[in-house]
Structure 1
Amino acid sequence: MSEFFERNLQIIQQRWPALAGRLSMEDVAGLQTDLVEGLGSTLSVNGIQLSSRHDRLAEADLQAASVAPDASIVHVYGTGLGDLQSRLLERAGLERLSVHILNGAVFALVLQVLDQSPWLSDPRVVLRYAGDLAEIQLPFFALPAELVLADDYSAKIRDRLISEIHLDFTNQAFDPRSPEIVERLQSTLSLVQEDRDVSELFGSLDGREAFVIATGPSLERHFEKLRHLSNQTERPLLICVDTAYRPLIDHGVAPDIVVSIDQRISARHLPPEDTDGIALVYLPMADPLVIGAWRGARYAGYSSSPVYRQMRAQLRRAELHVGGSVIHPAVDLAVKMGAVQVTLFGADFAFPHDKTHAGWGDGDLGPQLGASRHWVLDGYGRRVKTQLNFRSYLCELERFIAGHPQVRFLNSSRDGAMIVGTDFHPEYAQ
């Protein structure tokens, strides 16, 4: 035990005794650690520098400057080399600094090699593992290196942090003044006027179960059971997302409702043949050619997006929750229809078995397996490949589930991402 570690751990033991025990058990030896030198020096862990190798303090000043100077409470995600914490604690108006450990082994390593006692002993500091809380806290600064190095225990919080950081950039694609968006909404206005309000479906299930079917690779394992089920009189309501429709039809499964929100969905995904008995629920950004060709009942709705502000003023239609993916309004529809139990199929948010989607080729729906650089934990607690936006969609679904405790949510597969708030279906999730 190094002199630094003994001093640092003694403070943690006095202030947060349970935390000290956990840190003592961290596997520091499993880290690949190097000293990286430039104009200054820093530590590299598993190939990732914990800070600038030229001027750590200037970097910490830059990071601190991005946090509102009058914030009385600040949350720092990741521990780094302690530089940002020290800079923030110089603010006289700071009342509490919550430091959330994103990788326990990395923090234990830093405790061994650097004196962290000044900020650890400050009475304004609260120290915890990031994964101990289910949701991120605002305002925050997340240290970039540890967003990459986050361990399995902190993975869910890491995903929420990255989603929040990217929010402004993501929303740029949905500028209501965009000529493409204005043109699309003008082209679907007459269809929205003609079609029913999605609210007509609300409350119609009377407690019946709903199956919400997405296009993750695990769906392929359920085609036969769903085909058999769809032919039964007494069965759950089948709601599918647009990209799952063709694979379902190809395997003899006729859903009751298809949900579509994306302007890129075409007749290739939603062929109009034999749709007379199938309802289409859509948002006005959907392709007017696809909507107009649909033969079954059609229901229009909005999301809370500013994109629909002007149309909402002209035509009143109910809202469905949208969090970036069509899975969100599909699940919200099931809940607003009155389902007391919702079972998710193909809601993988990942690429299990080295596939991107059920019923589609690699890259057919956008992402290619070879481009996946990220991971989530699956239902077995193992890391499985995914892409960044899938993790954001997963975060939003978990938040939706947490906000609807009156509904039981089940997952039909352990192969995709673990979805907080769901149980595994005893029959389908083998």
Structure 2
Amino acid sequence: MSEFFAHHVELIQRRWPALAARLLVEDTSPLQADLVEGLGSTLSVNGIQLTSRHDRVAEAQLQAASLAPDSPVLHVYGTGLGDLQAELLAREPLQRLYVHILNGAVFALVLQLLEQPWLEDLRVELLYAGDLGEIQLPFFALPSELVLADDFNAKIRDRLISETHLAFNNREFDPQSPEIVERLAASGQLLERDTDVARLFGSSVDREVFVIATGPSLEQHFETLRTIRQRAERPLFICVDTAYRPLLEHGIRPDIVVSIDQRISARHLPPQDSAGITLVYMPMVDPQVLGAWQGPRCVGYSVSPIYQQLRQQQPRGELYVGGSVIHPAVDLAVKMGATHVTLFGADFAFPGNKTHAGWSDGDLGPQLGAAKHWVLDGQGQRIKTQLNFRSYLCELERFIAGHPQVRFYNSSRAGAMIVGALYHPEFVQ
């Protein structure tokens, strides 16, 4: 035990004894640590520099400048080399600084190598990020440790990245965009005559609902879903648009299809034999696709600014959208009155090295080879995914947390673990 580490552990044991016990069992042996030099120097862990190698202080000052100087409470995610903490603690208005550990082993390693005087400041509270179920505001997340975050803290890492990217992700939803204005105008006549989605709200009180997405694990359930669909008394089947064609190909007719994306075409929603199937949509969907649909159509909005004018002119029911069509599908189930919702194909990942059920690699987005990120599956193992899938997962978990009166089930352990969704005993072995 190094002299630095002994001192730090004694200090942490005095202030946060339970956390100290966890730090003492962190295994730093798999970490490859190297000194990296430039105009200054820093520590590199597994090829990731914890800070700038040229000017750590200037970098910390730039990071601190993103947080309001008069804020009495601040949160830092990641421990780094302590530079940002020192910069923030120099602020007189600061009353409490919460430092959230994103990788326990990395923090333990730094405690062995460098003195960390910020730990002695009584305004500091130290905790593992994963001990809290949600991110805390206002925050700064150290970029290096968003990459190095360990399994225990991965859920919070995903929420931090999703929050950080929010403005960037919303850039394509500018209400003044010519493409958006044109699409909404083209949908005007359909919007006037189609049924308000609110008419469906409360129409299936206490009925079980299956919400079917297009993750690869859906393939495990085609036969079971077909059998259940044939029962006289059965759950309501709601599917997302990209799951519609694979379901039909396996002899499964959903009751409701939900679509919100302007890129959905007749290839995804073939109109043949759609009579009797309700299409719930938002006005960004291609009017030609909508016009060809043979079954009933119901229209609604999200809270997106692109629908602000329409909401005033032609009020319609609202469904929650958090980036993916699965969100309004789940919200529809809840607003229809479901108390039990079972998710199929809600993988948010690429189990079995496949991207989607019923579609070829790359048909519905990036190819498998582009997957550079990971989530934990139902077995606690890392599984490939893409960045936007992790964001969609975060938003679904937040939705589930906000509806404690509904019991949510996941039908497979193959995809991402969904916090708040139990594994269904009938479908998960």
Cα displacement string for residues 43-71 of structure 1 (whole angstroms, at most 9, x for unaligned residues): 11011000111111111111111111111
Partner of 2:328: 329
Give the match's secondary structure for 1:267. Answer: coil
Cα displacement string for residues 276-305 of structure 1 (whole angstroms, at most 9, x for unaligned residues): 110000000011011111111110000000
Within the alignment, does 1:301 sit opposite 2:300 as a pair? yes
Give the match's secondary structure for 2:384. Answer: strand
Partner of 1:429: 428
**Distance between the aligned counterparts of 1:368 and 1:327, measured in 2?**
20
Give the match's secondary structure for 1:295. Answer: coil
**Distance between the aligned counterparts of 1:403 and 1:176, measured in 2?**
28
User: Could you tell me which amino acid in structure 2 is paired with residue 368 of structure 1?
Assistant: Q
Mapping for residues 206-221 of structure 1, pairs under 5 Å: 206-221=205-220
User: Could you tell me which amino acid in structure 1 is paired with residue 33 of structure 2?
Assistant: T
Per-residue deviation, 1:124: 0.4
Per-residue deviation, 1:233: 1.3
Partner of 2:86: 86
Partner of 1:21: 21
**Distance between the aligned counterparts of 2:46 and 2:231, measured in 1?**
54
Give the match's secondary structure for 2:220. Answer: helix
**Distance between the aligned counterparts of 1:114 and 1:320, measured in 2?**
51
User: Could you tell me which amino acid in structure 2 is paired with residue 15 of structure 1?
Assistant: R
Mapping for residues 283-362 of structure 1, pairs under 5 Å: 283-362=282-361
Mapping for residues 233-248 of structure 1, pairs under 5 Å: 233-248=232-247
Partner of 2:71: 71
**Distance between the aligned counterparts of 1:319 and 1:341, measured in 2?**
21
Give the match's secondary structure for 2:289. Answer: helix
**Distance between the aligned counterparts of 1:152 and 1:189, measured in 2?**
48
Per-residue deviation, 1:206: 2.1
Cα displacement string for residues 90-144 of structure 1 (whole angstroms, at most 9, x for unaligned residues): 000001000000000000000000111x210101000000000000000000000
Give the match's secondary structure for 2:182. Answer: helix
Per-residue deviation, 1:239: 0.1
Cα displacement string for residues 143-171 of structure 1 (whole angstroms, at most 9, x for unaligned residues): 00000000000000000000000000011
Give the match's secondary structure for 2:29. Answer: helix
**Distance between the aligned counterparts of 1:334 and 1:232, measured in 2?**
20
Mapping for residues 375-386 of structure 1, pairs under 5 Å: 375-386=374-385
**Distance between the aligned counterparts of 2:212 and 2:27, measured in 1?**
41
Partner of 1:413: 412
The percent identity for this pair of structures is 74
**Distance between the aligned counterparts of 1:39 and 1:27, measured in 2?**
31
**Distance between the aligned counterparts of 2:328 and 2:48, measured in 1?**
38
**What are the ranges of 5 or more consecutive residues in structure 2 without an aligned counterpart?**
none
Shifted more, 67-76 versus 144-153: the winner is 67-76
**Distance between the aligned counterparts of 1:4 and 1:229, measured in 2?**
63
Partner of 1:31: 31
User: Could you tell me which amino acid in structure 2 is paired with residue 79 of structure 1?
Assistant: T
Per-residue deviation, 1:363: 0.3
**Distance between the aligned counterparts of 1:315 and 1:240, measured in 2?**
26
Cα displacement string for residues 236-283 of structure 1 (whole angstroms, at most 9, x for unaligned residues): 000000000000000000000000000000000000011111000000
Partner of 1:62: 62
Runs of 4 or more consecutive aligned structure 1 residues displaced over 4 Å after TM superposition: none
Shifted more, 55-64 versus 403-412: the winner is 55-64
Per-residue deviation, 1:429: 1.4
Number of aligned pairs? Answer: 429
User: Could you tell me which amino acid in structure 2 is paired with residue 254 of structure 1?
Assistant: R
Cα displacement string for residues 174-220 of structure 1 (whole angstroms, at most 9, x for unaligned residues): 00000000000000011011100001111111201000000000000
User: Could you tell me which amino acid in structure 1 is paired with residue 155 of structure 2?
Assistant: K
**Distance between the aligned counterparts of 2:219 and 2:396, measured in 1?**
22
**Distance between the aligned counterparts of 2:398 and 2:185, measured in 1?**
33
**Distance between the aligned counterparts of 2:20 and 2:228, measured in 1?**
53
**Distance between the aligned counterparts of 1:225 and 1:49, measured in 2?**
49
Partner of 2:197: 198
User: Could you tell me which amino acid in structure 2 is paired with residue 291 of structure 1?
Assistant: L
**What are the ranges of 5 or more consecutive residues in structure 1 without an aligned counterpart?**
none
Partner of 2:49: 49
**Distance between the aligned counterparts of 1:181 and 1:70, measured in 2?**
40
Partner of 1:6: 6
CA RMSD across the alignment? 0.5
User: Could you tell me which amino acid in structure 2 is paired with residue 329 of structure 1?
Assistant: P
**Distance between the aligned counterparts of 1:84 and 1:250, measured in 2?**
56
User: Could you tell me which amino acid in structure 1 is paired with residue 288 of structure 2?
Assistant: L
**Distance between the aligned counterparts of 1:140 and 1:123, measured in 2?**
19
Per-residue deviation, 1:416: 0.2
Within the alignment, does 1:394 sit opposite 2:393 as a pair? yes
**Distance between the aligned counterparts of 1:173 and 1:11, measured in 2?**
49
Mapping for residues 91-106 of structure 1, pairs under 5 Å: 91-106=91-106
Partner of 1:162: 161
User: Could you tell me which amino acid in structure 2 is paired with residue 221 of structure 1?
Assistant: Q
Per-residue deviation, 1:384: 0.2
TM-score (norm 2): 0.99
